[in-house]
Structure 1
Amino acid sequence: MLELTVALVLFLFPLAYSPGPGNMFFAAIGGRFGVRASVPASAGYHLATFVVTVAVGVGFAAVARVSSEVFEIMRYLGSAYVFWLAATFLRAGATADDRTARRATMVDGAVLLLLNPKAYLIIALMFTQFLPVDATSRVGLVLWITTVFTLNNLVAFTVWTIAGDLLTRRFRNERSARPLNIASGLMLAAVALWILLR
């Protein structure tokens, strides 16, 4: 089990820590509102990650492969949703207390994962590499792989959230908050384009 875990973490490291939609989303949230404000969205994202990963591990991938149209629909919906989140940043006022600067919720985090077809593909790929066909305790192994995957993502996204918070802490004042809102909104818009065009 230790050998499998080490190999799995090495496999996941570049996927989890390199810039991607999840990392950029949490960096933007951390940059705008701080680390503590990202907790609900992170909880939603990682709860959804755990549920989806278990589902894929026990056979959802086979169903998803049958209908590629599902992935196309999810891609468009996911992109539209992140564009909507970006718009809330771009409309935000000058201060962190402005009501139009809507904080990300647990639902936002869950939706980000659920409407990201790339996440399903990575999860399916992970299981093809690390779940032996002849595994005697298939469910137990699926749960272990899911736990490692979810925790690895949680650590990576937390690192990106902290980085976003630290880099933009000095911008949280009346004079410079507006450029920060614009930068955060543009970052999320770039994530939406990435989902749509890849």
Structure 2
Amino acid sequence: MLQTAIALVLFLFPLAFSPGPGNMFFAANGARFGFRATIPANVGYHIATWIVTAAIGFGFLTAIEQFPQLFTMLKLAGSLYVFWIAWKMLKAGALEGAEDAKPATFMDGAVLLLLNPKAYVIIALMFTQFLTNSGFNTFANVILITTVFTFNNLLAFSIWTLVGDQIASLFRSPESAKRLNLLFGTVLALVAIWMVLS
């Protein structure tokens, strides 16, 4: 079991720490509101991660294979959601009244996971690589893989959030804060476009 967990972490490390929709979302929110304010969204995202990963491990993947249009719909919905977040940041960066902006909520975090097609691809790939070769009973393996995956993501997102928070500390004036919002809003918009095209 320990061997499986170590191999899984090595497999997931580059995937979890690469700049995908989740990492960019939390880096942007960390930059905008600070690390502490992102905790509810982080909790929401990772509770949803654990539930969705376990569901896929116990057979949800079969449903997606039978209905491939479901994946296409999730991909489009996820990219639109990330683009909407980017639009809110771009608007806050370009207009007065940015002080009215609020940090992402628990529900925002959960919805981001549910509409993130990259997460579904990684989860499906992970189970095909580690569930069949592990040698323990299926239930225990699904729980192990789900938990390792969730905590690995939590670590990656926390690091990205701290990086965003530290970058923001260099931009405390209103003018530079607007430029930072425009930067992260643009990055998120590009991520949304990438999600549609990939």
Shorter-chain-normalised TM-score: which range? over 0.9
The 5 Å alignment of 1:1-198 reads 1-92=1-92, 98-99=99-100, 101-132=101-132, 135=135, 137-198=137-198
The aligned amino acid for 1:139 is F
RMSD: 1.8
Q: TM-score, normalised by structure 2?
A: 0.93
CA distance in 2 between counterparts of 1:96 and 1:154 reads: 32
**For the structure 1 residues 31 and 112, does the alpha-carbon distance in structure 2 shift closer, same or farther, using more than 3 Å as the test?**
same
Alpha-carbon distance in 2 for matches of 1:48, 1:134 = 25
Cα offset for 1:194? 1.4
Aligned partner of residue 142 in structure 1, secondary structure: helix
TM-score (norm 1): 0.93
Using the aligned pairs only, state the percent identity.
55
CA 1:134 to 1:80, structure 2 compared with 1: closer, same or farther past 3 Å?
closer
Q: State the shift of 1:137 in Å.
A: 2.2
Counterpart AA for 2:88: T
Deviation at 1:82, TM superposition (A): 1.1
Q: Which runs of no fewer than 5 residues in structure 1 stay unpaired? A: none
Cα distance in 2 for residues equivalent to 1:42 and 1:111: 11
Which aligned segments of 4 or more residues in structure 1 are displaced greater than 2 angstroms? 93-97, 132-137, 172-175
**Contact kept? 1:21, 1:194, Cα under 8 Å:** no
Q: Which runs of 5+ in 2 are unaligned?
A: none
